[in-house]
Structure 1
């Protein structure tokens, strides 16, 4: 067994080595597998998050009529300004347990349409903004049995609709932008500075001629603790502590808009940790649409979506975008980090934009982006689904290594007939190629000295593996909040490894180091995976903080 460590492998060779194993076995390409997990969860999964108790939380908007699942105990939502029903006794949020496929309806009383969120360090899901009576709301859901949403209707300083969230090294959360909001703020409101609102002229400048295409801006926390902000075609590095722009990056080439409603997607590529080297941060932006696509689609002309990806090393002294072409055009695609460090691009359409009925030609096939490959070897088209996942579809990595997919087109009053793309209440799971049937997976048996980690400290992962060859490495993945083609707070770290020891038979110990700073890994819960021979173990939850609690 080889140790895959930043000490021993370059970034490219590390992922090249493992990606080659994943996709071929006996010379045959493995395209992945789809499975219908639940025919109906009662709502359309417009927003999706994973809690540290392994439960998936989904919710849609509350103002488009009754869902297909009732609220518990006869509870009802009453809103005289609702666009469909002033009294609604159906649920618009559910807790889904992937282990037994059970569903528990949850109570949301303010409108969550096109809202945002992330997990706080204590594992609590924090969800912000929305529409109508929910545009200044902050909602909290704790990962505990029987817990329900707790709402503060005026928890935000201003209205937030189509904004983005990012957990910060301090454990606070920054909320950026939204329709008509060219500023940012912080939660919780624990100090005077948290109550303040901070202007961000960059958002006003990137609106474009349609006064949009910069909603749901892409946020990525860099290893120095500053925030990369991408909107429309432009990006900056924001020092949110001193409220100044540190640098302006080159504009992404090609002219296509990348944010809502043109809806490309973005991910921070794996952060490979090495105490002897500076940690590089690369941003990937894929898909989108021409900037006037939304206006044209609303008049019945559906333009082709973008086929390009841009890759930028944001930590370089003179960064430049490196452009690539996907094998399929895609708008409204989700980019989900896999435990191996590769990216799954899934959901969406080949023409049009985000919005009600303004996209055509569903893209049913996911595409794998192998982060360590070079050139046109990075992309691989995988097996497709039979269910179109268009506007308001979502995806999320599960602890077992599958990707859960849900949502699509929650039409007014939950129309299932007479519309081009009916409201979709189902959940599917996609098994990436590394989950090859009959291929043994490593299993984490113990993490020493425990599941509460402290920064910089050395720890070990015990695991069982029946494989006799192939390198091994450890990844640490932050759970995201996914909506509108953007997985907020998504993050994957390849941990620094000291070595691997065979204890007995199929039992091994890999020694490594926790991330050194909260800028690399903001405090909170992460899934740890052992990847052996290109195959990840099921994830194991850990918590990291300066105190290890």
Structure 2
């Protein structure tokens, strides 16, 4: 494969136009020319290691299995190469991992104790549940009978009680819970007719968008329709959400993406635990895009996005338009509450060889103003089977892309083994605040007061600039604290992605450039399921590096 070079762009704003839109800054850097595999699935762990894996029957990867273990493929071939790796973000070391059951198009969640729970796949992996604990020499543990029914293209969501719900999958209009325990209900499959009702000829409801709502229910979006679902009593709580306008399919293979916008936790919300919740869905393709692409005609992807306040009494879609068409794009919540839309193609559909015209420019979306900004382009197409996640330092790790039936480095869009990082513009906007300490430590309980010590070089007492960001009482302004849940990313959907803007009580100055911010932990596990989160202090639009905290 042709060698790549580090791509570093100027942090200065310049006037380049794409389709009449101004391209602003952003910084791309090659982190690793090859991790040995193509990153179809990606999860950040609380030890700042990233687990990546693809499918086990792609053929020989570029990294060997530990201890030369081998797997016999369905066609009789022997494969001694690894199809999962651990990437150490601190030193870029890559450690091969042993996954033997087929993880093709599977799903995952980070459990409350930091363990990665990963489910489903194809062939001998369709009933499998795999776990990976974050430790120096841990490897995958696989249970080939961890699921009651086969799950291929399903979605996972961590729940307030720490269990994981697995929703749908090809030919599965139902859900179940993992990991299994002694509870009889864990071994039941619960019907979900909504998934069958939204299925069409090409199944544009695979990897359904699932979001835990602040009242503990599950918002499920498939194709163009959505419901609010009580998974405990197995009943639809709300089915009056309007159809998303535009005639565009949003789920696999007409793959768009979805996020639950940041939950803003004020005083009332801290007490009763019910902030408003709004989903944001972008991109996708016409319902017949998959079929026409197979026949050689590549339809334009959608530019449209929609916002829906799912807690409103009479919700209505607020439709907007991105500056670039996009199918197979990933949507990530940044520490500031902005949304990064990255990866994908302008034409076609998800599937082998079915996407054309890669979208190299990320787009930054600001929910408060509904403003879209085109970011600097990567030089590496990230098409089908690419991934993107937020990492601890506020950058975005991007990997994968393999729209081929196997490892192939000669196609127009070859198998991509590299990983790179994108730095949003806030990382070139000046000095970052730095978290010095968290008074409560890294363990939090619900509703608990939190005090965070931090410094900010942008606010010297003697400078006019510093005074601009203090109120009449001399307190620092434009400061917020966010909690971000690390997501499991695959096929353009970041499962379990979640952000809370914490209620801030006050900001106190200790000395020049040194401050304490007092805030409160989320009120209930419906708002923040138990587990690990990255805590950020944001001052004047610039986030600190994240600090891992654990809510239990």
TM-score (norm 1): 0.92
- Aligned: 1:345 with 2:341: yes
> Offset at 1:408?
0.4
| Contact 2:82 2:97 (C-alpha < 8 Å) held by counterparts | yes
Counterpart-to-counterpart distance in 2, 1:127 and 1:39: 26
The correspondence of residues 138-217 of structure 1 with structure 2, limited to 5 A, is: 138-190=129-181, 191-210=183-202, 212-217=203-208
- For 2:496 and 2:484, how far apart are their aligned partners in 1? 10
1:426-474 Cα distance to aligned partner (Å, 9 max, x none)? 001000000006x100111111121100001101111111111441100
CA offset digits 1:143-164 (Å, max 9, x no partner): 1111000000010010000000
Cα pair distance change 1:312/1:23, threshold 3 Å: farther
Displacement after TM superposition at 1:189 (Å): 1.6
SS class of match (2:161): coil
1:410–1:424 contact (8 Å) kept in structure 2? no
In the aligned structure 1, how far is the partner of 2:360 from the partner of 2:133? 34
CA distance in 2, matches of 1:430, 1:213: 30
Q: Does 1:398 align with 2:405?
A: no
Q: Which position in structure 2 is the counterpart of 1:527?
A: 534
Quote the RMSD (CA, aligned, Å): 1.5
Q: In the aligned structure 2, how far is the partner of 1:511 from the partner of 1:338? A: 22
Asked if 2 retains the 8 angstrom alpha-carbon contact of 1:23 and 1:29, the reply is no
Equivalent of residue 422 in structure 2, options 409, 430, 433: 430
Distance change >3 Å, CA 139–CA 227, structure 1 → 2: same
Aligned to 1:367, which of 363, 369, 378? 363
Q: Please report how far the alpha carbon of residue 209 of structure 1 lies from its aligned counterpart in structure 2 after TM superposition.
A: 2.9
Q: Which residue of 2 aligns with 1:254?
A: 246
Match of 1:296, SS state, is helix
Aligned equivalents of 1:208, 1:74: Cα separation in 2:
44
**1:125-183 deviation per Cα after TM superposition (whole angstroms, max 9, x unaligned):** 01000000000100000011110000000100100000000000000000000000000
- Write the distance in 2 (CA, Å) between the matches of 1:297 and 1:406: 25
Give SS of 2:196's match.
helix
- 2:44 counterpart of 1:53: no
Change (3 A) 1:23 1:285: farther
Q: Say whether the 8 Å CA contact 2:51–2:85 is kept in structure 1.
A: yes
Residues 281-304 of structure 1 show CA distances to partners (whole Å, capped at 9, x for unaligned) of 000000000000000000000000
Secondary structure at the counterpart of residue 280 of structure 2: strand
Q: How far apart, CA to CA, are the structure 2 residues paired with 1:302 and 1:413?
A: 22
Aligned pair 1:118/2:125, yes or no? no
Deviations 1:505-528, CA, capped at 9 Å, x for gaps: 222110000000000000000000
Question: In the alignment, does 2:32 pair up with 1:41?
Answer: no
CA distance in 1, matches of 2:99, 2:331: 27
- Aligned partners of 2:363 and 2:375 also within 8 Å: yes
Q: Does 1:302 find its partner at 2:309? A: no
Aligned to 2:511: 504
8 Å Cα contact 2:329/2:344 also seen in 1: yes
Deviation at 1:29, TM superposition (A): 8.0
Task: Report the more deviating stretch, 463-472 or 524-533.
Answer: 463-472
Matches within 5 A, 1:226-241: 226-241=217-232
CA distance in 2, matches of 1:23, 1:536: 19
Distance (whole Å) between structure 1 residues aligned to residue 150 and residue 24 of structure 2: 47
8 Å Cα contact 2:251/2:284 also seen in 1: yes
CA contact (8 A) 2:351 2:403 kept: no
Q: Distance in 2 between matches of 1:65 and 1:412?
A: 9
Q: How many Å apart are 1:275 and its aligned residue?
A: 2.5
Q: 2-side partners of 1:363 and 1:188: how far apart? A: 38
Is residue 2:478 matched to residue 1:479? no
* Residues 265 and 333, structure 1, Cα contact 8 Å, conserved in 2: yes
What are structure 2's unaligned runs of at least 5 residues? 1-10, 15-21, 460-465, 470-477
User: 1:229, CA displacement in angstroms?
Assistant: 0.2
Relative contact order (alpha carbons < 8 A, sep ≥ 6): 1 or 2 greater? 1
Structure 2: distance between partners of 1:275 and 1:175 = 33
Q: Do residues 381 (structure 1) and 377 (structure 2) align?
A: no
**Conserved 8 A contact 2:326-2:344:** yes
Within 2, Cα distance between the matches of 1:107 and 1:252? 42
Deviation at 1:213, TM superposition (A): 0.5
Residue 109 (1) aligns with residue 109 (2): no
User: Which residue number in structure 2 is paired with residue 490 of structure 1?
Assistant: 497
Runs of 4+ in 1 over 6 A off after TM superposition: 22-25
Q: Is the contact made by 1:23 and 1:433 (CA closer than 8 Å) also made in structure 2?
A: no
